[in-house]
Structure 1
Amino acid sequence: MFEEAKQKLRGSIAPIVTPFHEDYSIDYATFENLIDWHISSGTHAISVTGTTGEPSSLTVEERIRVMETAVKKINGRVPFVPGTGSTNHQETLYLTKKAQEMGADAALVIVPYYNKPSQHALYKHYKIVADSVDIPIIVYNIPGRTATNLHVDTLARLHEDCPNIIGVKESNKDFEHVNRVLLKCGRDFLLYSGIELLCYPMLAIGGAGHISATANVVPGKIADLYNTWVAGDAQKALDLHFELMELNDVLFKDTNPAPLKAALGMMGKIKPVLRLPMDLPTAELQNEIRDVLQQHVVLPDEIAAKR
């Protein structure tokens, strides 16, 4: 039933930032420009209101409008995978149903954060959400930010009981864990890397692609990492993996998306604004980010010339 989705939802699914004006209202015009830039750069699919999109700093109404703006702007050019998860079960249900209503190709549903639910409770949460819609569900496991790790056995049980749970974004540094995901869930289960330095290794074990924050800065290169791998050029993909490492490192020296928004501000793509309690990195780190961006030739000439 979901075989078409499994083929379509592969590659670089870019988790786009939510740009703000200086008064902290959402900058929808810039948001639409980012979507066009990603698609023209070769991004395979678009995700919004995931971790990189600061969903916990948005109201439910804002999340819905961001999703609606995205699906209208994408207009079917690439798949659309909004983040619909929350620490609140009813809110997650509501947002996931809204995603289906507006024509999303799948929903990315994060493990509830702060609550630290048991594996039994996580199973119930995801089972009810999956049963409430007909669109594919991609589970989002990011224990470093949720304080809860979705166990492989729990995920395998969900996959068996819920046909529309077709994949997982693993922002999990435990590489043994991600190997066991494919062992337990089947090698046709869609495994996406949410850890930048594991994008290449996950492709090597049969991953479906990556949902990498770095795609916001170099969307073409992150898409090419997948493209070169599936084209059979493992050496070129490996070279790109190491080429991107310094950029990946600097973009995670502070909590995502703070360094990312600083970088996009330097590139002239957005105003570098986050809503509190998030804020921009220190001046020292911003200088380091600028130096790395210049090495990757992603700064406008007039900005690079100032360094």
Structure 2
Amino acid sequence: MAYTEAKKRLRGSICPVITPFTEECTIDEKTLKELINWQIESGSHGISVTGTSGEPSSLTMAERKRVMDLAKEAIDGRVFFAPGTGSTNHDETMELTKYAEEMGADAAMVIVPYYNKPNQEALYQHFKTVADSVKTPIIIYNIPGRSAVNMEVSTMKRLAQDCPNIIGVKEANKDFEHVNRVLLNCGRDFLLFSGIELLCYPMLAIGGAGFISATANVEPKKVAEIYNAWEAGDVAKAQNLHFELMPLNDVLFKDTNPAPVKVALGMMGKATPKLRMPLGLPSAEIQEEVRETLMNLNILSKEEATK
């Protein structure tokens, strides 16, 4: 799609769907499709896979491509598709981003490389090389808490100016001053998505395009309704949903994402809570907090909670 069209369409609540595993820790293909269908039926505006919530660093390249294929098939054009194609390895990022283009993804979400800690010029060169290799719209994924590097606004501005297919950013950045300056410097039409749950609603107020929230894995309808309410001009409803979801947002990040999310989905009967090592399940105390929160929000009934 043309980049102007992409900027109009790629908005709302994009769910970063988990990668469900069987008890043997292989990809549960049937459950992945079921989760995506549930997301779309619940009102999510877009789907992403193999982002942080999808445990991409625990998947092989072949598995990442398989998950992308399964997601594309399940979505079947009903909502837009923006898979995560980034890696700590430059060549892998190139290969996965080109694969996203070949399969017809609506955009590719490319993470700031983790562990390597590149400087700002290296970040620029990495992203520019990837962007120049495809025509697919690219959404930068800036998550300094996981990558140990923050893409500075000046670097993002250079990329937005030099690469017409870099159309936005998922900012998993708690620095709200930083995200304000992203729109100021990259342009008000630059797509700004929140990757911080407690900033999903506030980001809309400054002109954000939406959010890519792990919480949508558990409560997709209400997360999507925040965006819908804001677009409809119902500020009070959006605010109320924001505060209603805060306890869920808090408990789902009591341990490393996506561990609490998978625990919640296990309690809900949506997927097994299996994670691939080196990740592991949260403590019994955190699991009980997850259960209580789901019950308090009527996501889980008392009968379901005792199963």
TM over 0.5: yes
- Per-residue displacement from partner, 1:224-246 (whole Å, max 9, x unpaired)? 00000010011110111000000
Q: For residue 235 of structure 1, give the secondary structure of its aligned residue in structure 2.
A: helix
1:103 corresponds in structure 2 to 104
- Percent sequence identity is 68
Q: Which amino acid aligns with 1:177?
A: H
Q: Following TM superposition, by how much is the alpha carbon of 1:301 offset from its aligned partner in structure 2, in angstroms?
A: 5.3
1-structure distance, mates of 2:111, 2:216: 20
1:282 corresponds in structure 2 to 283
Q: How do 1:194-233 residues align onto structure 2 when only pairs under 5 Å count?
A: 194-233=195-234
1:160 corresponds in structure 2 to 161
Q: Which amino acid aligns with 1:25?
A: T
Q: How do 1:117-266 residues align onto structure 2 when only pairs under 5 Å count?
A: 117-266=118-267
Q: For residue 33 of structure 1, give the secondary structure of its aligned residue in structure 2.
A: helix
Q: For residue 167 of structure 2, give the secondary structure of its aligned residue in structure 1.
A: strand
Q: Following TM superposition, by how much is the alpha carbon of 1:205 offset from its aligned partner in structure 2, in angstroms?
A: 0.4
2:7 corresponds in structure 1 to 6
- Per-residue displacement from partner, 1:269-307 (whole Å, max 9, x unpaired)? 001100010011111110010000011111255323x29
Q: For residue 166 of structure 1, give the secondary structure of its aligned residue in structure 2.
A: strand
1-structure distance, mates of 2:147, 2:256: 14
**Aligned-residue RMSD, C-alpha:** 0.9
1:91 corresponds in structure 2 to 92
2-structure distance, mates of 1:63, 1:197: 29
2-structure distance, mates of 1:228, 1:54: 31
Q: Which amino acid aligns with 1:51?
A: T
Q: TM-score, normalised by structure 2?
A: 0.99
CA contact (8 A) 1:268 1:300 kept: no
2:57 corresponds in structure 1 to 56
- Per-residue displacement from partner, 1:170-205 (whole Å, max 9, x unpaired)? 000000000000000011100000000000110000
Q: For residue 42 of structure 1, give the secondary structure of its aligned residue in structure 2.
A: coil
1:77 corresponds in structure 2 to 78
CA contact (8 A) 1:171 1:194 kept: yes
Q: TM-score, normalised by structure 1?
A: 0.99
Q: For residue 95 of structure 1, give the secondary structure of its aligned residue in structure 2.
A: helix
CA contact (8 A) 2:295 2:302 kept: no
Q: Which amino acid aligns with 1:208?
A: A
CA contact (8 A) 1:119 1:154 kept: yes
Provide structure 1 residue ranges, at least 5 long, that are not aligned to the other structure: none
- Per-residue displacement from partner, 1:219-264 (whole Å, max 9, x unpaired)? 0001000000010011110111000000000000100000000000
1-structure distance, mates of 2:279, 2:129: 32
CA contact (8 A) 1:267 1:300 kept: no
Provide structure 2 residue ranges, at least 5 long, that are not aligned to the other structure: none
